[in-house]
Amino acid sequence: MASTGTTTPHAGHADVHEHGAHDLSFWKKYVFSTDHKTIGIQYAVTALCFLLFGFFLMMLMRWQLAFPGKAIPLIGGLFGEGRAPGGTMLPTFYNELGAMHGTIMVFLGIVPLAVGGFGNFVLPLQIGAPDMAFPRINMASYWFFFLGGVTMLLSFIIPPGGAAQSGWTSYAPLSDIAGSGQTWWIMGMVLLITSSLLGAINFIVTTIQLRAPGLSFFRLPFFCWAQFVTAFLLLLAFPPLEAAGVLQLMDRVAGTSFFLPSGLVVSGQALQVSGGGNPLLWQHLFWFLAHPEVYVLILPAMGIVAEIIANNTRKPLFGYRTMVYSLIFLGFMSFIVWAHHMFMTGMGTTMAAFFQTTTMIISIPSVAILTSLIISLWGGSIRFNTPMLFALAFLPMFGIGGLTGLPLGLNITDIPLHDTYYVIGHFHYVVAPGTIFALFAGIYYWYPKATGRKMSETLGRWHFWPSLLLMNGIFMPMFLTGLAGMSRRLADGGATYAFTKPVLHYNQWSSFSAWGLALFQIPFIINFFWSMKNGEKVDSNAWQSTTLEWSAAGSPPGHGNFKTIPTVYRGAYEYSVPGAAKDFTPQDQRS
């Protein structure tokens, strides 16, 4: 069915780009590209590499937790006497791994993949735009990310201090007085934040300005809404952390005491600092970013899952408008719940009452979105392909993550749970079998748009089922160890505490599951490369979808995306419309 399009000045512009594309040098085309699709792929591939590295750090930590004090087998000798004498991990090395695992997974892995990768590749296509509003800023955003990532990783080998050791939250005063790695951590963060801010501005302007004619806000695919709201979170939440990072840098290198109290005594020695600062100020500034950041981790995931569910149930999303309003409300609320991470700081009952109330309220829109997605399945004739399997698994996994957040959101129940493995279980359910599964779903789903081929379903299943099982094998026991009181901060997993004895063996469950999970990512890695040459060839609308990225000719579409800018006549999910010729009616189809 031919799609109708109007010729706009943009479309002419797009044509010029398309012809121009042939003349681009290798460097301009693949390295310093300004094409949002290339940048999206650069972001995605880089972030996947970082994710793999962060995963590797975690596997080392899991050895220490399962078998504290035993030499790391095979590779233990590689880390040197300073980190693992005789192959046995020192607590300081464990701290490096912990801080860098968290930082890498969140700031170098998931967010860049979800926003930089999927946002960049998909959003301009879905809104019928020739590119991002500011292609060069987009390129700068990627390169700041890359530099920030490299800075973080290099910190492992930069003397004298190695990598940061103060956790991904970098709490003061520890972070102020920690070794040199902490300085590299801050500098890396400043670069990463700069990258995010450049990206966020681009997403906001692009969504407002470059939507195709007829594509009103309420015709936007839910994925675009999710990216749009996420961009506001990044734009408004990151600057305070960037400022806080610079203050911490000053504390470390310029003798200031923004986060250092007077009279600080470390290991029996009074510290020679001017003092007068407040460690809690850091916590406030950090969580003012980092709570919205957890929604940055989850909203794009919800967006991806929504697209895939509509497509594979062949039905419109249930309650699309409610979902959009929930998203906006959630974005707003995410700025006034941050101190639920700080109930232990003695904030007093008035403050605690405020933050637990807002936290309970914010769970309502999350539940509204999740429920809408579940109801969307009702009565659909579901296609159980690999993207759909991952999207479906996201629902209960995110559900477990969200529900276990509620006891943490209430002051009275958080106090015993805070800093135990229960918290680790909670947030990993939302980000690992939650967000990461959604990201896998997205990779399987949009891969055909990027390469013209589908990934193998067989390998996809070898990836999905064991991963689902093993993810739960890792994180479910953490609720039990956490409820038993096991602290998340111990390099030996709690082996020296009598009260953790009955649950200590769960540490091994988690560890074996984690190593198993690594094994079952191999089918994915093989699939990712093998399918580029050998996957099933598909036409430009691989999944018979309604949204505009599939109307763009070619996989991937040429520079400029659309020969003529499409005109949009309908909402995003017109599947199985009664009386229609096919079970999907693309947004740019007139009738």
3-state SS, one letter per residue, for 523-535: HHHHHHHHHHHHC
The residue (of 95 and 435) whose beta carbon lies closer to ligand HEM is: 435
What angle separates helix 222-253 from helix 320-333, to the nearest 10 degrees?
10
Q: Select from Cu ion, ligand HEM, none the partner in contact with residue 104, using the beta carbon and a kind-dependent cut-off of 5 to 8 Å.
A: none
Q: Select from Cu ion, ligand HEM, none the partner in contact with residue 430, using the beta carbon and a kind-dependent cut-off of 5 to 8 Å.
A: ligand HEM
Those residues with Cβ within 8 angstroms of residue 545's Cβ, 6 or more apart along the chain or in another chain: 311, 584, 586
- Euclidean distance between CA atoms 126 and 215, whole angstroms: 10
Q: Please count the residues of this chain forming the interface with Cu ion, following the rule CB under 5 A.
A: 1
The residue (of 84 and 298) whose beta carbon lies closer to ligand HEM is: 298
Q: Select from Cu ion, ligand HEM, none the partner in contact with residue 588, using the beta carbon and a kind-dependent cut-off of 5 to 8 Å.
A: none
Minimum gap (Å) between residue 342 Cβ and Cu ion:
10
Q: Select from ligand HEM, Cu ion, none the partner in contact with residue 408, using the beta carbon and a kind-dependent cut-off of 5 to 8 Å.
A: ligand HEM
Q: Select from Cu ion, ligand HEM, none the partner in contact with residue 406, using the beta carbon and a kind-dependent cut-off of 5 to 8 Å.
A: ligand HEM
CB 395 within 8 A of CB 435: no
Q: Select from Cu ion, ligand HEM, none the partner in contact with residue 479, using the beta carbon and a kind-dependent cut-off of 5 to 8 Å.
A: none
Long-range CB contacts for residues 39-42, cutoff 8 Å, separation at least 24? 39/116, 39/120, 39/138, 39/139, 39/141, 39/142, 40/116, 40/117, 40/118, 40/119, 40/120, 40/121, 40/122, 41/117, 41/121, 41/450, 42/142
Q: Select from ligand HEM, Cu ion, none the partner in contact with residue 405, using the beta carbon and a kind-dependent cut-off of 5 to 8 Å.
A: ligand HEM
What's the alpha-carbon Rg for the chain, to the nearest Å? 24
The residue (of 137 and 280) whose beta carbon lies closer to ligand HEM is: 280
- Euclidean distance between CA atoms 522 and 272, whole angstroms: 52
Q: What does the block give as tokens for 115?
A: 């926003």
Minimum gap (Å) between residue 332 Cβ and Cu ion:
15
CB 491 within 8 A of CB 68: yes
Question: Rule CB under 5 A: which of 73-132 touch Cu ion?
Answer: none
- Euclidean distance between CA atoms 224 and 211, whole angstroms: 11
> From the list 36, 219, 291, 428, which residue makes contact with Cu ion (rule: CB under 5 A)?
291
Minimum gap (Å) between residue 482 Cβ and Cu ion:
17
Backbone φ, ψ for residue 487 (5° rounding): -75, 145
Reduced to 3 states (helix: H, G, I; strand: E, B; else coil), residue 170 is coil
- Count of helix runs (H) and strand runs (E) in the chain: 20, 2
Please give the helix or strand (H or E) that residue 287 lies within, else none. Answer: helix 279-313
428 binding Cu ion? (CB under 5 A): no
**Applying CB under 6 A, which residues contact ligand HEM?**
169, 294, 297-298, 340-341, 359, 363, 366, 402, 405-406, 408-409, 414, 417-418, 423, 426-427, 430-431, 435
Cis peptide preceding 556, ω within 30 of 0: yes
Q: What does the block give as tokens for 108?
A: 């170098």
- Euclidean distance between CA atoms 276 and 263, whole angstroms: 9
Q: Which stretch binds Cu ion (CB under 5 A): 231-239, 283-291, 434-442, 501-509?
A: 283-291
The residue (of 430 and 568) whose beta carbon lies closer to ligand HEM is: 430
The residue (of 347 and 532) whose beta carbon lies closer to ligand HEM is: 347
Minimum gap (Å) between residue 434 Cβ and Cu ion:
15
The residue (of 286 and 320) whose beta carbon lies closer to ligand HEM is: 286
Q: Select from Cu ion, ligand HEM, none the partner in contact with residue 423, using the beta carbon and a kind-dependent cut-off of 5 to 8 Å.
A: ligand HEM
- Euclidean distance between CA atoms 301 and 307, whole angstroms: 10
The residue (of 244 and 417) whose beta carbon lies closer to ligand HEM is: 417
- Euclidean distance between CA atoms 554 and 540, whole angstroms: 5
Minimum gap (Å) between residue 96 Cβ and ligand HEM:
17
**Which amino acid would we find at residue 363?**
S
Neighbours of 143 (CB within 10 A): 16
- Give the sign of the dihedral formed by CA 120, CA 48, CA 58, CA 502: positive
CB 83 within 8 A of CB 90: yes
Q: What does the block give as tokens for 65?
A: 């937790």
Q: What is the DSSP letter of 574?
A: -
The neighbouring-strand residues paired with 487 are 420
Q: What does the block give as tokens for 511?
A: 């560890």
The residue (of 210 and 408) whose beta carbon lies closer to ligand HEM is: 408
Q: What does the block give as tokens for 152?
A: 């973080």
Tokens 């972001």 belong to residue: 43
Q: Select from Cu ion, ligand HEM, none the partner in contact with residue 298, using the beta carbon and a kind-dependent cut-off of 5 to 8 Å.
A: ligand HEM
Minimum gap (Å) between residue 363 Cβ and ligand HEM:
3
The residue (of 252 and 291) whose beta carbon lies closer to Cu ion is: 291
The residue (of 353 and 519) whose beta carbon lies closer to ligand HEM is: 353
Minimum gap (Å) between residue 413 Cβ and Cu ion:
15
The residue (of 83 and 426) whose beta carbon lies closer to ligand HEM is: 426
Q: Which stretch binds Cu ion (CB under 5 A): 179-187, 289-297, 502-510, 521-529?
A: 289-297
Q: Which residue is nearest to ligand HEM (CB)?
A: 405
Minimum gap (Å) between residue 337 Cβ and ligand HEM:
8
The residue (of 50 and 562) whose beta carbon lies closer to ligand HEM is: 50
**Of 359, 380, 367, the residue nearest 322 (C-alpha):** 367
Q: Select from ligand HEM, Cu ion, none the partner in contact with residue 327, using the beta carbon and a kind-dependent cut-off of 5 to 8 Å.
A: none
Minimum gap (Å) between residue 572 Cβ and ligand HEM:
24
Binding site for Cu ion (CB under 5 A): 291
